[in-house]
Amino acid sequence: MKIISFNKNYLWENSVIVCSLRREGGLEMKLKIIGAVLLVGLLSAQEKGITKGKRMEQHLEVATLGAGCFWCVEAVYQQLDGVEKVESGYSGGSVKNPTYEQVCSGRTGHAEVIQVTFDPSKIPFKELLEVFFRTHDPTTLNKQGADAGTQYRSVIFYRSNEQKAIAEQVKKETDAAKIWDDPAVTEITPFTEFYKAEEYHQDYYNQNSYQPYCMMVINPKLSKFKKEFKNRLKK
C-alpha cells in the first residue's frame, strides 16, 4: 500500500512534522498521517541514538598498559566493570606497523600492550592502575615469569599530565604498601603510537582457553584476580 503521497512541505519542530496534504478523506488520509507521524518518530529515535552514542564516546577515556604477555593482561581487563573495549597491540618502539615476529625479536623497541577504552565514571584511571600493579610483577625488569625480553617490560604510556601524575602516585603507593618485596621498575613514559596486533591475538583467552598456555598461566592469574577484585567485576 502506498502510504505517503503528499506535497513535500515539511516543518520539523520538537519531533513533530506538519504536512500540507492534498484534501483526501477517509481511511487513506488517516493512514497517510499515521505514516508521517511514524516516520518522524523513527527518525527522531535514530537521531537520539546517534547523539547518545557520541556523548558516550566523548565521555570515554583510553589507557595503554604493558604488563608482560598481552594475552594475560587482556583477559584480566576484559573482566572489569566500566571497561568498554580491550585491544592487544604494540607501543613504544621505533618501527611503524610492526609484526608480532618483529616485536618478539626485541629489536623494534616495542612493548606488548593493551589499549583499554573505559568509562571513568565507573572505573577511574587510578583503579585501572591498582589492578595493573597487583596482577603482574612490576619489580622484574623486562621479564614476566618465563617471558623475557624488553617487549615484556612493565610500562604505563600516559596520554596526559593527569595520567602521568596518577601513575606516579599509584607506583609510589604500591611500593609503600610493600605489596611486592622489591620496588617497582615500571616505566612511566609518554604515549606516542599504538599499533593493533594481528587479529589472532585479539580476545585470545576467550577464543583459546583450551590452549596449554591459557590453562597453565592465564587461568591461575584470573582466579587470583577475581578473588581480589570481585567487587569490580562485570555482572
Torsion, Cα 213 141 186 219, to 10 degrees, reads: 20
What is the pLDDT at residue 64? Answer: 98
Cα–Cα dist 20/66, whole Å: 62
Handedness of CA 89, 94, 96, 98 (dihedral sign): negative
Block means of pLDDT (10 residues each) for the chain, 235 residues, are 43 44 58 64 59 64 98 98 98 97 97 98 98 98 96 98 98 97 98 98 97 96 97 94
What is the pLDDT at residue 148? Answer: 96
Identify the bridge partners of residue 187 per DSSP, sorted by sequence position: 155
What is the pLDDT at residue 36? Answer: 62
Q: Which residue reads 537520539 in cell numbers?
A: 48
Catalytic residue among 19, 69, 72, 104: 69
Give one DSSP letter per residue of 111-125, joined into a string.
Answer: EEEEEEEE-TTTS-H
Amino acid at 63: A
What is the pLDDT at residue 49? Answer: 54
What is the pLDDT at residue 10? Answer: 42
- State yes or no: is 104 an active-site residue: no
pTM recorded for the entire structure: 0.77
Amino acid at 53: G
Give the helix/strand (H/E) hosting 64: strand 61-67
Cα–Cα dist 117/57, whole Å: 10
Q: Which residues neighbour 112 within 8 Å (Cβ) at sequence distance 6 or greater?
A: 66, 68, 69, 70, 88, 89, 90, 103, 151, 152, 197
Cα–Cα dist 108/151, whole Å: 9
